[in-house]
Structure 1
Amino acid sequence: MLGAIATASAAVLTAPAAGLLGYRQLKRTANAKRLRITTPNGIDESGFVRIGGIDQWVSIRGEDRNNPVILEILGGPGASNLIFIPRTRDWERHFTIVRWDMRGAGFTFAATGPAEQGEMRLDRLYHDSLEVTEHIRARLGVAKVLLVANSFGTVLGLRLARNHPELYAAYVGTDQNVIAGGRERSAYHALVARLRQANKEKELTAVLAMGADKAAWSVEQQSQYNKLVLTTDPLSYDTMKTVVIRSLWFSPLHTLRGLRAYLKAMTFSESLARETVAIDEWAEGTTFPLPFFIFQGDGDVLTPPGPAKQLFDDVTAPVKDFALIQNASHFASFRHPDQFLDLMLTKVRPVVTGEPITG
């Protein structure tokens, strides 16, 4: 889903002016200072872990090891969530957060490049996820972890939550993908309507030529579609510029070379999306033996809230809740990390811990 940002980022990364580089360094230094964890029972560690036969990057951060543990399943495919840590720093006061750069993403991709990523298939990522989960349980001494998946990651997240309630305390999906065996086409039709209204004849012709059946699209057409969806909607385009690209540019964890590797990873991993086009969430099962939550951007045009709510309504779970993040497009939790945290504290954490949040 994030492949569309590559074009917008390229100009910044290829020929930055000296003044821009200086400002970038100031912001990176400030962000690095913000990221420091100094609490007595805190944790801040990262490095490579042998997962699925290759070394994969795992970051664990939080101010109190006694807090519930979150495993984030990233989007993209191939888009590391590590760039958003300065925006989500407050989450780490209440949760210990594990951010994993899966094969084909982030530092895992950057370390060895495309040749050493191994098998790039959805089923391989699923089993990698289980290995990472077991690593976290052993490393942090917890029986279960809280599964938080965004965008492409929700495809894996649903399967993990459905099949392994013994490992996960709850499922939280945001930017929730709903594919419905290829039947879900509302985002496509909304794009066609926007292009018509804007009299963008060239783009409209290209989108109509693709047709609504994503299973018939090439990787290049999928990327073109995502880019058009995100750039033709004002809120989504603003989010790309002010949230995604700024997070990339000012990340204290990434050098300029690291940012280029970040973008190359997304391009490398794009083909994974082709494996998802026929997934039918209803056919795979709507019974989840664990608490189930979806927090969706109210203005998300890439993974619209309507289909996510339809899926939610059909889910059977011991506890479930659905909420909209206001004035949010795709990347809802990163555009409004305060709203997302409030939902996590008021709806999710009490269910996971059995205790209400105070203060």
Structure 2
Amino acid sequence: MQYVSIRAHKMDAPLLLYLHGGPGDAALPLVMKFNRKLEKDFTVVVWEQRGAGKSYYLFEDDTVTMATFLQDLLLLTSILLERFRQNSLYLVGHSWGSVLGLTFTARHPELVKTYIGCGQVVNMKKSCRRAYEYALSHADNNARKRLLTTDCTYTGDNWLSDLLFVTKQVVKHKGSLYGKINYNKLITSFLFSGCYSLPDLIRRQKGSLQAIRYLWPELMETDFEGMTRFGAPVIFIEGRYDSHVSAELAWKYFEAIETKKQFFWFEKSCHFPQWSENCRFNRLLVELLL
């Protein structure tokens, strides 16, 4: 069973499906808090992906792969389009969700009116190298010693510990959530959302760690650089200072895309432009898509 939130102010509003990051980083309370105004113009669908947040369950075998999530996404899209009698939908993908979203758009362009990528993953190996270099350049002596023994290809025996440490350093030095040294602002939104209980929050934490363990090795193989043509329009919305998933790589890749496209820099954002500058994000989507 997977949890899906559907919210709208009017019956015939176009569908907008949000794909959260992670993997396993469920985001329903954040979308409801920061992007609620989109519900005036869209039927906003937030999918808590399998094993994440309200959809948490224990992965008991190794059959859960990226392909599993893409199959889930195709099924969910088909159900939504049939239920709301629409032919296609708008697809927003953030971080890990941007891998699913862009792959899905390439495979099923007839189902996607426009794809919107935030914190867009392009080449995961290159992005991880840049995140590592950012962490190293800002590290104190103790962190630097630890980083110098870190393998940012995340293929060694201690890959999960290495990944979590580098990510912690990027966050600590304000390369992930703009102007912040931790995610407390986002966690608080979960605690006071009204739609997430404390057990839900615990399940979210368990689901996030589980999904990383299962999916990160495959995620590291992500590379869109050779994919430059899409059958649907593509929009990238990037935080200028994103060092969590390199915004510079997203810009260079965007320049190579050969089909209809638009790119927007958010100057007071890092990895979360949809929440750091939510008013502009919400307004921009209405202006661009409607």
Q: TM-score, normalised by structure 2?
A: 0.91
Partners of 2:145 and 2:164 lie apart in 1 by 16
1:87 is matched by which residue type in structure 2?
F
Partners of 1:239 and 1:164 lie apart in 2 by 39
1:292 deviates by 0.4
Residue of structure 2 equivalent to 1:207: 147
Q: 1:226 to 1:144 in 2, by over 3 A?
A: same
Residue of structure 2 aligned with 1:281, choices 224, 241, 247: 224
Q: Do residues 225 (structure 1) and 171 (structure 2) align?
A: no
Residue of structure 2 equivalent to 1:314: 256
Q: Do residues 143 (structure 1) and 87 (structure 2) align?
A: yes
Misfit runs of 4+, over 6 Å: none
Q: Which has the higher helix share?
A: 1
Partners of 1:311 and 1:215 lie apart in 2 by 25
Identity %: 26
Instruction: Give the 3-state SS of the residue equivalent to 1:238 in structure 2.
Output: coil
Rg (Cα) greater in structure: 1
Partners of 1:340 and 1:242 lie apart in 2 by 21
Deviations 1:92-149 (A, max 9, x none): 111111111111101110xxx3157984211111111111111111111110011100
Deviations 1:308-355 (A, max 9, x none): 1011111121x21000122112122012211111221222x14xxxxx
1:215–1:278 Cα contact (<8 Å) kept? no
Q: Which has the higher contact order (CA 8 A, sep 6+)?
A: 2
1:254 deviates by 1.2
Residue of structure 1 aligned with 2:104, choices 160, 181, 202: 160
Partners of 1:117 and 1:57 lie apart in 2 by 21
Q: Do residues 188 (structure 1) and 132 (structure 2) align?
A: yes
Partners of 1:60 and 1:118 lie apart in 2 by 31
Residue of structure 2 aligned with 1:103, choices 37, 50, 70: 50
Unpaired runs of at least 5, structure 2? none
Residue of structure 2 equivalent to 1:75: 21
1:187 deviates by 2.3
1:210 is matched by which residue type in structure 2?
T
Deviations 1:248-299 (A, max 9, x none): 221211112221112111111112122111222123x121111100001112
1:231–1:237 Cα contact (<8 Å) kept? no
Q: 1:219 to 1:241 in 2, by over 3 A?
A: closer
Q: 1:1-359 counterparts in 2 under 5 A?
A: 55-84=1-30, 85-109=32-56, 113-114=57-58, 119-179=63-123, 182-184=125-127, 185-195=129-139, 200-216=140-156, 218-233=159-174, 236=178, 238=180, 240-241=182-183, 243-271=185-213, 272-283=215-226, 285-317=227-259, 319-347=260-288, 349-350=289-290
Q: TM-score, normalised by structure 1?
A: 0.75
Q: 1:321 to 1:189 in 2, by over 3 A?
A: same
Q: 1:251 to 1:239 in 2, by over 3 A?
A: farther
2:16 is matched by which residue type in structure 1?
I
RMSD: 2.0
2:191–2:197 Cα contact (<8 Å) kept? no
